[in-house]
Amino acid sequence: MTLKLIALVLLLCVFTSPLFAQTYDIVLTGGRVMDPESGLDAVRNVGINGNRIAAISAKPLRGKQSVDVSGLVVAPGFIDLHAHGQDLKSNQLQVRDGVTTALDMESGAFPIAATYAERRGKTIINFGFTVGHHSSRIKMKHNLEMRHLATAQPTAHTDQLKAWKYEKASVAENARLIELMESGLDEGGLGLGMGITYTPGVAREEIFRIFQLAAKRKVPVFVHVRSAGMIEPGSSIEALQEVLANAAATRASLHIVHLTSSGLQQTAACLEMIEGARRSGLDVTTEAYPYTAGSTKLESALFDPGFREKLGVDYKDIQWSATGERLNEQTFQQYRKQGGWAIIHMIPENIVEMAMRNPLVMIASDGIPFVTGGEHPRGAGTFARVLGYYSREKKLMSLMDALRKMTLMPAQRLDSYVPQMKNKGRVKVGADADLTIFDANKVIDRATFEKPMQPSAGIQHVLVNGVFVVKNTELVEGVFPGQAIRRTPVR
């Protein structure tokens, strides 16, 4: 058989194969497909029909729309388990950082059904919420609804709400709180979320009862621990011990949010404690963001008297988001009374690197909504920063390991009780077509503490449920393919 005849036979085999005979809605051609679940890392063509991946093939595929992604990585869309920024402006920056699913698992929301309803059909990325302890507690104490406590603007009830974080709950109020939070689970909430550090008046039994509810309903507790710093009582280790003890006593699943900003100089010991708990059979996971600063509202309980000694910072380490200025005692008192977002530079770089390197630590942004334009850059650059700076430049982890931390691991944290997540965080036939396509040699964050609203570089295309929301690095206008990530409501 001549070489020309052999070539003709091979060509006929390709063009008569079932894969090529089918016409896909979208075909991504020639990309480096990386799937952390299967370990696939090879040049492949990806066929998409509707909102699903329909084919992954080394052979050519035919599509109504073909996009050449040669030289680019085709990865699962990034899943952010800790995203307070749930508005269009924030989503537009998140998606240009490769995020296709943004979930508010710490603060959460209440009521759940109404919160989901107000987002339906209006999002460019997938969204979801836990049942928020804070907002449920405000409902229980004051019969007020604060659906998104982390994003709430001052209201006529501001004075009434100032004291809620310090108020104790009676036995009857605790019972009512559990009823409210369970009703949120009935409406499809993604677990239970709480920031204990922001509610210093909350008794330990109140927290324990919430863990009992989580165990009963087989959902995790996503928790910002009670305190941070080296000073006893109230150290980072003590705060972690509280929630680990509750998890051990109830067998509830536990997720510790932003470990580095809670652990600070005790992060290494905290990681050892988490690893030990896992070896003992507890379901405990954690996350971190790749920055040396945290952010919260200046009026929060975190900045109550004594915070400088506890956190090992001074006023000059606090940056006022609205103006970018570093504070002194006078401006601290002025802005604290006024209320608003601040950035606190308090996490040593070696602690950030430790978390990035540790295989147990997922990537999550803790991004906050962009209001003044001076907010923390983590809402715009977290994922590209991990890929570009900590993986490519500092080589703290391989590219596949970095992708695993931001795709498969967060999907697996949820997929045992949220069936939708079994089709997220993977590049495989049948999975949702949530895909982030980037240049591994160029991807990098551009958002800074001075200019936080700069989109990341190197993210070439992003698809959410089979729809391009970023194409050729630009936002696609007028598309809202984001879907609710939600447990099945109890009817």
Domain span at residue 65 reads 3-71
Domain count, the chain: 3
356, 414: one domain: yes
Cα of first residue to Cα of last residue in the chain, in angstroms, is 68
- Is 175 part of a structural domain of the chain? yes
Q: Which of 411, 391, 357, 354 is nearest to 36 (CA)?
A: 411
Contacts of 48 (CB under 8 A, 6+ apart): 24, 25, 26, 27, 28, 54, 433, 463, 466
180, 307: one domain: no
Bond into 36 cis (ω within 30): no
**DSSP-assigned letter for residue 400:** H
Q: Which of 257, 107, 132 is nearest to 185 (CA)?
A: 132
Residue pair 320/342 in contact (Cβ under 8 Å)? The answer is yes
- Is 433 part of a structural domain of the chain? no
418, 311: one domain: no
155, 39: one domain: no
- Is 483 part of a structural domain of the chain? no
> What Cα–Cα distance (Å) separates residue 305 from each residue in 301, 309, 333, 339?
9, 9, 11, 16
Contacts of 262 (CB under 8 A, 6+ apart): 197, 224, 225, 228, 236, 239, 240, 256, 270
Tell whether the torsion through CA atoms of 340, 341, 342 and 347 is positive or negative. positive
Tell me phi and psi for residue 158, to 5 degrees: -55, -50
Both tokens of 143, joined, read 């019969």
Last residue of a domain, one of 364, 392, 422: 422
Q: If residue 319 lies in a helix (H) or strand (E), which one and from where to where?
A: strand 318-320
Triad 199, 200, 204: Cα angle to 5°:
95
Last residue of a domain, one of 53, 71, 89: 71
- Is 49 part of a structural domain of the chain? yes
325, 360: one domain: no
Q: Which of 340, 336, 403 is nearest to 371 (CA)?
A: 340
275, 332: one domain: no
In order along its 491 residues, the chain shows pLDDT tens digits of 565 554 444 444 544 555 557 999 999 999 999 999 999 999 999 999 999 999 999 999 999 999 999 999 999 999 999 999 789 999 999 999 999 999 999 999 999 999 999 999 999 999 999 999 999 999 888 777 666 555 554 444 455 556 778 889 999 999 999 999 999 999 999 999 999 999 999 999 999 999 999 999 999 999 999 999 999 999 999 999 999 999 999 999 999 999 999 999 999 999 999 999 999 999 999 999 999 999 999 999 999 999 999 999 999 999 999 999 999 999 999 999 999 999 999 999 999 999 999 999 999 999 998 888 899 999 999 999 999 999 999 999 999 999 999 999 999 999 999 999 999 999 999 999 999 999 999 999 999 999 999 999 999 999 999 999 999 999 999 999 999 999 999 87
